Chain A
Amino acid sequence: MNFINNNILTIVIFLPLAGAILLVFFPRRHRDIRYFALAVSLITLLASLHLPWYLVRGQSGFQFERNIPWIAHPNIHYHLGIDGISMWLVILTTFLMPLCVLISWNSIGDRVKEFFILMLVLESAMIGVFVALDLFLFYFFWEATLIPMALIIGMYGHGRKIYASVKFFLYTMIASVFMLAAILWLYARTGSFDFVTIQSMIQGGQVPGFGNAALWLFLGFFVAFAVKVPLFPLHTWLPDAHVEAPTAGSVLLAGVLLKMGTYGLLRFNLGLFPDQARRNAPWIIALAIIGIIYGALVAMVQPNIKRLVAYTSVSHLGFVVLGIFSFTQLGMDGAVYQMLSHGISTGALFMLLGMVYDRRHTYDINEYGGLATPMPVYATFFAFIMLSSVGLPLLNGFIGEFLVLSGAFQARQLYGILAATGVIWSACYLLWMYQRVFYGAVSNPANNSLRDLDARERVSLWPLAIAALVMGVAPMLWLHSIDPAVAATLRQFSSAVQAHAAHAPGSLVRADFTRNGMQALLQVIGR
C-alpha cells in the first residue's frame, strides 16, 4: 500500500502516456485503436479513484507526495503532490477522458491513430499540471498541453481551424513566457524550483530583492493564467478555438484546460504572492465581474450555438476568479466547486452540440428549430444539462455559484450584487437558445428525419447527467475534502498578509462589516 501511495500520482500521470506510446506501434485498425484508447482512459480513471479513497481529510499540506531530485543543475525536482483542491481536478480530467473517447468514436474518421495518441498525451500533460509541485515541472506540463491541443484543433477541427489553432497557440504561448520569466527569476534568487521551498523562503523574507520584484512576478504568473481562464479582455481566442475544435477538443478545453488557469491563480498567485494578490484583487475582481456580465450578454446574441456556449465559459469562469479573489472561505470553496461543476456542465453541453453537429454539420441556430419533436431524448438531456448550467438548485451549478456569490458578498457587497445579476443573464441566454433550437414546429425540413440519440451517445451522457445531479444533491462528498484544503490555503494566505501588514501597518484589508443594510447598500453602490 505504501508503494502505491508513493507512486500513485506517477502512475496516473504516465498511464495515458504509456498508452499513447503503445498506440504508436498499433496497426491502423480504427476499431482496435478506439477500444484501446477507451481502455487506457478507463484504467486511468480507476487508478485516479485511489486518490479520494485514501486521501486523509484533516491532514494539512500535500499528500501522496513524491519528491526526488531529477536534474542536479539546474536544481529540478520531480516533486508531485495533491491536496483536496488539485485532487478533484485530476479526477475531473480522468472522468472526462473516457467520455471524450466515446464521443470521438465515429466523428473522427481520419487519422484516428494520431488523434487518440494526441488525446492520451494531452491527458498526461493535464494531470501533470495539477499535481506538479516543482515550478519547472509545472511549466513543462503546462506547455506540454499546448502542443497536442493545438494539433487537435488544427488537424481535426473545421472551418477556420488553422487560424483558431494558431491563435490559441500564440495567445497562450506568449502569455506563458512571462510566467517562465518569473519562474527563472525566482530560481535565480532562491536556487530552487520547488513550490514549497520557494513559498516558505518568500514568507520568511529570505529572497533578496523580492519586495521590488513581487508585483512583476505576480503579474508574470497572472498573465499566463488569465489568458488560460480566460479573463476579460484576454478571452477572444476561446470562442474561435471552441467553434473550430472537434467535440472532444472542446470538451477538454472547456472542461479541463481553462481550469489550469484558475488552478494556477489559486495555487501560485495566492500561494506565492499573497500580499500582491490582495493588493491587486480590486481590478482583478473588476475584470472577473465584467467577464461574468459581458460574457453572458455576448453569449446571448450569438448566432452560433457553439460560440454561445464558449462565451458562457467566460461568464462562468468569471465566477471562479471572483471567488478566488474574494479571499473568503465560502468564495474559494465555491470557486473550486464551480471549476468542477463547470467541467461537468459545459463538457456535457459541448458533447451535446457535437452530437447534433455529427448529424447536421452546422452550429448555426437558424438552421435548427423544433428539434424536440424528432429528438425527444436529446432534447431532454439538453434541458437537464442546461438547467445545471443555469444554476438550478439541486443540480451542480447552483452550489458553486451560491458559495462564490455569498463569499464575494461578504468581501464587499457590491461584488456580490453585481455578480448575482449573472443568475438573470444565464437564464436569458440559455432559455432563449433552447427555445430557438428545440421548441416550435420543425422549420427546416432537413431536421425532420434526424435520428435520436443512439446507445453510445446515451452512455456518454448519462455519467455527466448523474454527476450533475449528485453534485447538486450531495455536495458534501466533494466539499468535505475541498473545504479543509481551502481553509489551509486561506490560513497560509492570511498569515502571510498579516505578517506583511505588520511591516507595513495600515494596509490590512478591512472587510466592511457595516451593520445597516440599506444604508450600506447605498453606500456601497455609491462607492
Chain B
Amino acid sequence: MHLWIIPLLPLAGAAINGLLGKRFARGLVTTIALGSTALAFAMALWVAAQFAGLPPDQIPHIERYATWLGAGSFSADFGIYLDQLSLVMLLVVTGVGFLIHVYSVGYMEHEGGYYRYFSYLNLFMFFMLTLVLANNYLLMFVGWEGVGLASYLLIGFWFLKKSAADAGKKAFITNRVGDFGFLIALFLLIKHFGTLQYDSLWPLIGKYPIESGAAGLLTAIGLLMLVGATGKSAQIPLYVWLPDAMEGPTPVSALIHAATMVTAGVYMVARSHLVFNRAPDAAMAVAIIGTLTAIFAASIGIVQTDIKKVLAYSTISQLGYMFMACGVLDYVGGIFHLVTHAFFKALLFLAAGSVIHGLGGEQDMRNMGGLRKHLPYTFWCMTIATFAIAGLPPFAGFFSKDRILWSAWSNGYRSLWLIGVITAGMTSFYMFRLWFLTFFGDYRGPNPEAAGHAHDAHAGGSHGHGAPHESPMVMVVPLIILALLSFIGGWVGVPHSLKGSDHFDAFLSPVFHAPAAPAEGAQEQGESTTELAFTGISVSIALLGFLSAWWLYYKRPELPGRMAKAAGGLYTFVLDKYKVDELYGAVFIQPLIALSLNVFWKGIDRGLIDGAVDGSAAGAREVSDEMRQMQSGNIRSYAGWVAVGAAAVIAFMVWRGVR
C-alpha cells in the first residue's frame, strides 16, 4: 500500500519549511504544512478503506522497506505494521492533527517564527506516525524520542521566555528518564529473543507461560516499559513535565500534550499486550499507577486557576484512566478512551485557546467570566467537550469512561473501580467549575484597553484588542468538527448492555486475541443488568459533580474562597501541586549538581588527580633542575628520560619473567 508515504509527507513539509520557509510568504508556508498533513490524512482514509477489504489472514499487513540497523545477527527494519490498532492511531493522529494545523493558522497568525512553528508541527507528525506505524520496537523508539524532540522544540517555541525554555528542557529530561527504562526493556528483549521485530517477537513471547507465581522476564520487561510509559504519558512519578509544558502555544498543547503524543505510552502498553497478559504483576502495576495518577491529578486540577493548567492536570488524570484500562487488561477500553479523549481534550484545549486568543492572552479564570455572550461558538463547543469529559450520556467520554470503570469492576479490581468513580465525580466537578468560571457570571477581566498582557506570550498587542471577541472562522471550524466528534464519537462503542452493538470492540478485539466484548449478546442477563446499574452510578456521580460546581461557582460564588480559607494549609499545599517539583529539586537535582561540582570536579578532578599530576610535575622539575646542570639540550634530556624509563621497565619485566 506504500504506507511509507504517510509519514514522509509531513517530514517533507517539515524539511521544506524548516530549510527554506524563512524566505517563503506565509501563504506558501501554510500551504506546504497543511497540504502535507491533509494529504497524509487523505491517504490514511484511503488506507482505511483498503484495510477494510483485507481478508483476516492478511492482518497485520506488514511492509518492509530496508534494513535500518544490522549488527551481527540483530537487525531492525524500516518497516510498517498495520493492524486495527495502528489504523485507529493513524486516523486519530492524522485527523486530529490536520484539524489542529488548520486551527494554528488562525492562532499563530500574529506570531513571529511562523515557518518555524509549522516546521516543528510537521516534524512532530512525522515522528508520531513513525511511532504508531513502526513494525519493530526500535523504530517505535525512533518515533518515541522524536516526538519528545518536537515537544521540546514546541514547548520552548517562545524561547525568549525563561519559563518556556525551562519547561522544554524539563520535558525532554524527564522523558529521558522514562526512555532509560524503555531502553533497558529493549535490551532485555534483544538479549532473550534476539529481535525487536513485532512479527518475530509475538510468537516467541507467546510461548511463555503466564508468570503468575514468580515474577520473571516478562514482568521485568513490562515494568521497564511502564517506566518508559510514565515518562511519555505523564504518569506518576514522571508527570511533572506536562503541566509546565503548557508554556507552549495552545494548539501544541492540544495536539501533542493532549490528543496524541502523551497517549504514546498507552499505545505502547496496548501494543505490548502479549507481555502484559503474561505478566500479571506488571499489568497490576500499570493499573495502580494509572488509577493513582487519575485521582492525584484530578485533585490538583480542582484548585488550579489557570485554564490551561486545569486542562493539563485533567489530561494527566484521563491518561490515568487509560492506564487503568490497560492494566485490567481491557486494552480496547484504553484505546477507546484514547480516541474519545483525543476528540474532546483537543477540543477543550482549542476552545481554551480560542478564549485566550479572544482575551488577548489572558489565562487566569479569575479574570474571565460571562464569556458565553462574547464567544458563542467557542462556548457551545466547550460545552459539548465539558459534557463529554464529565461522562454524561450520550457524549463520547461517557461510553469510554463507563467501559473502563465496568472493566475494572468486572475483572475484580473493586478498589480501583471505587477510586475511578470518585475521580469521575472530581472530573465532572473541576470541568464544570472551569465552565462556570469562564462562561457564566459577569466578565471579571480588566478594562479592555489593558487586556493584552500575554501569559501565553501570545502577543495580544499586535492586533489591538478591544473587548473579548470570537475567534476567526479558521479557528472556529475545527472546533465545530471536533465538537461533533466529541458528541457522536462514542457511538461506535455503545455497549451491549445499552442495546448497542459495540462496533469498536468488535473491530479492535482481534488485535488482542480476546473474544469480543465481555457482555457478548447471549451472555447472562444478570451481568448486563449489573452493568446497567453501574452505568447509573457513574452518571449520577457525574451529575453530582455538575451540581456541586453549579452551587459553588454559579449559585454561591463567594463560597469557594471561604472554603479555601477554612482549609488553610491543605488548600495551598494542593494549589502548590503537593510541592512535588520542590521535592524532586531537593532530593535529586540539587544534590546531583552539588555532588558534581564540589566533589567530582573540584574535589576529585582538580584536587586529587591534577594535584597529584602537578605535584609530581613539580617534583620532576626539581629533579630536572638538578639534571640541567649535567644536560644541555632539552631534546636529549627527553630522549634520556625515555631511555632510562624504558630500561627500568624492561629490567623490571625481565626480572618478573625470570622469576
Contact = CB atoms under 8 A, between A and B. Distances in A.
Contacts of B142: 393-394
B592 interface: yes
B132 to A, nearest CB: 16
B501 to A, nearest CB: 41
Interface stretch (A81-89, A109-117, A420-428): A420-428
Interface string A354-398: 000000000000000010110000000000000100001110001
Given A416-B187, A483-B70, A236 B173 contact: no
B162 A479 contact: no
A517 interface: yes
B160 A440 contact: yes
A402 B152 CA distance: 22
B165 A440 contact: yes
Per DSSP, chain A at the interface is: helix
Contacts of B609: 233, 236
B580 interface: no
Contacts of B516: none
With a 10 A CB-CB cut-off, give which of A171, A297, A432 has the most chain B CB atoms: A297
A42 interface: no
A64 interface: no
Interface in A394-423: 394, 398-399, 402-403, 405-406, 409-410, 413, 416-417, 420-421, 423
B216 A517 contact: yes
B361 interface: no
Contact of A297 (B70, B71, B217, B595): B595
A101 to B, nearest CB: 27
A128 to B, nearest CB: 20
Contact of A517 (B180, B186, B218, B604): B218
Interface stretch (B23-31, B198-206, B649-657): B649-657
A286 interface: no
A441 B650 contact: no
Interface residues of A, number: 76
Contacts of B604: 233, 294
Nearest to A373: B160
A345 B130 CA distance: 25
B592 A297 contact: yes
Contact of A330 (B74, B176, B223, B592): B74
B26 to A, nearest CB: 18
Interface string A194-227: 0000000000000001001100110010000000
Interface residues of B, number: 71
Contacts of A410: 187, 190-191
B372 to A, nearest CB: 38
A302 interface: yes
Contacts of B149: 387, 392
Contacts of A191: none
Contacts of A236: 605, 609-610, 613
Interface in B624-651: 638, 642, 645-646, 649-650
Given A297-B600, A302-B601, A424-B176, A177 B159 contact: no
A370 B162 CA distance: 10
Nearest to A234: B609
Interface string B182-195: 01101110111000
With a 10 A CB-CB cut-off, give which of A301, A410, A479 has the most chain B CB atoms: A301
Contacts of A501: none
Contact of B657 (A213, A372, A441): A213
B600 A515 contact: no
A394 B146 contact: yes
A329 B184 CA distance: 18
A398 B138 CA distance: 11
Nearest to B67: A476
A35 interface: no
Contacts of B138: 402
A167 interface: yes
Contact of B597 (A173, A301, A328, A403): A301
Contacts of A184: 646, 650
A28 to B, nearest CB: 27
Contacts of A520: 217, 220
Interface string B607-620: 00110010001000
B505 interface: no
Contacts of B654: 185
B221 to A, nearest CB: 6
Sorted nearest first, the 5 A-B pairs with minimum C-beta distance are A517-B220, A329-B72, A517-B217, A181-B649, A297-B596
Given A297-B595, A427-B172, 6 more contacts: A216-B652, A298-B596, A394-B146, A403-B71, A431-B169, A518-B217
Interface of A: 167, 170-171, 173-174, 177-178, 180-181, 184-185, 209, 212-213, 216-217, 220, 233, 236-237, 294, 297-298, 300-302, 328-330, 333-334, 370, 372-373, 387, 392-394, 398-399, 402-403, 405-406, 409-410, 413, 416-417, 420-421, 423-424, 427-428, 431-432, 435, 438-441, 473, 475-476, 479, 483, 487, 513, 515-521
